[in-house]
Amino acid sequence: MATIAEHVPDFLEESLADRCSLENYLALPDRTMDQCIAAARERLGKDALILGHHYQRDEVIRFADATGDSYKLSKIAAESSGRYIIFCGVHFMAESADILARPYQQVILPDLNAGCSMADMADIAQVEECWARLQAAGLTDAASGGLIPLTYMNSTAAIKAFCGERGGLVCTSSNARAAFEWSFARGKRILFLPDQHLGRNTAHAMGIPLNEVVVWDPYQINGGLTPARLAAARVILWKGHCSVHQRFLPEHADTVRAKYPGIQVIVHPECRVELCQKADAIGSTERLIRLIEDAPAGTSFAVGTEIHLVNRMAKRFAPLGKKVISLDDSGCLCTTMFRISPQHLAWALENLVEGRVVNRIQVADPVKHWARAALDRMLEIQG
């Protein structure tokens, strides 16, 4: 097996425990990791499945057995059979994979610091307080039409379990509308967590007037909403957002169209509604890729999503005569996705080869039960 010792002679005299410490890997340049990762993958064979989210850096995602958005990867994780699922994404994705995994499978997140600021915006204690307030207002009662809690995939396992226990489910940007329709078939109102922009854009696309969509601010009394506003609402949004997609503004669409006449503006539904209304198309990362794939040669796109994916698409489609640029010249990377490096991946894989599981993600059984219920409902609906 090609281990780190073969690339760094100083390590040859160190103990195996020292050699496999993460700090030793992080001190090495990216290029020294390729052979380590390739050799470890060969040794592990079908026992290990590496999943890579679209927003990962190129140096990592090229080693993935499967790539995709959170919805696609959650389905792949649920259908996989290998002993180890190495999730090159962020914490909530690895949690979801563990919830859907078989009892013998173990999920590994190469860097435990790879989190999601949006997911962190919905704290379980705050959500439970919100629900108690809505119960006190009578909005969860069947007599008032009922309230279905619906959470975006970008949320903690505790939030997913909260929704599952109360008859709700999980959605992604790929199937948000289908999840809204499922929820409205069971209740008059939806509490949508934690991304206000995806919730607002989905409601708007379904023809729900924006004056029937309100935002619950957990840092204000009663969410900052009057009883009358709550009673009139069909969709109650949590005040959360994606720091990457919220950066894109309506004026970016105006600027890019003025600079590149005929360019198509396509954006992720985590962007602001004012921008989405100006866009030529809105879609999940998978849909954005398909739109460019299906377009004829000579088409140009300005894409409102994470810069690693945009740059990757630009390289992929340039030989086919298609131009792909970021909607905002300054671009924006997902800093938490960026935390996972080739060094982290090599460290996790070589430890597996040596029989050690590092950075395992385990969701507690009581939480897993209800979170699984919410995720199973998601996987059953059509996206």
Please state the domain extents for the chain: 4-114+337-365, 119-242, 245-326
- pTM recorded for the entire structure: 0.86
CA geometry: angle at 42 spanning 38 and 44, to 5°? 115
The CATH code of domain 4-114+337-365 reads 3.40.50.10800
Question: Residue 105: what pLDDT?
Answer: 95
Mean per-residue pLDDT, 186-202: 97
Question: Residue 121: what pLDDT?
Answer: 94
Question: pLDDT grade, residue 20 (50/70/90)?
Answer: low
| Tens digits of residue pLDDT in 286-302 | 899 999 999 999 999 99
Question: Residue 383: what pLDDT?
Answer: 52
Mean per-residue pLDDT, 221-234: 96
| Tens digits of residue pLDDT in 362-380 | 999 999 999 999 999 988 8
The CATH code of domain 245-326 reads 3.40.50.10800
Mean per-residue pLDDT, 85-110: 93
Assess whether pLDDT exceeds 70 at residue 130.
yes
Assess whether pLDDT exceeds 60 at residue 10.
no
For tokens 């086919």, name the residue.
320
pLDDT over 70 for what percent of the chain?
93
Mean pLDDT score across all residues of the chain: 90
Mean per-residue pLDDT, 221-250: 95
Q: Distance between CA atoms of 249 and 271, rounded to whole angstroms?
A: 8
Assess whether pLDDT exceeds 80 at residue 9.
no
| Tens digits of residue pLDDT in 143-156 | 888 999 999 999 99
For residue 304, what are the β-bridge partners?
A: 267
Domain 119-242 belongs to what topology?
Rossmann fold (3.40.50)
Which H helix or E strand runs over 155? none
Q: Distance between CA atoms of 131 and 192, rounded to whole angstroms?
A: 12
Which H helix or E strand runs over 237? strand 235-238
Which H helix or E strand runs over 264? strand 264-267
Question: Residue 84: what pLDDT?
Answer: 96
Let me know if the fold of 119-242 is the same as that of 245-326.
Answer: yes
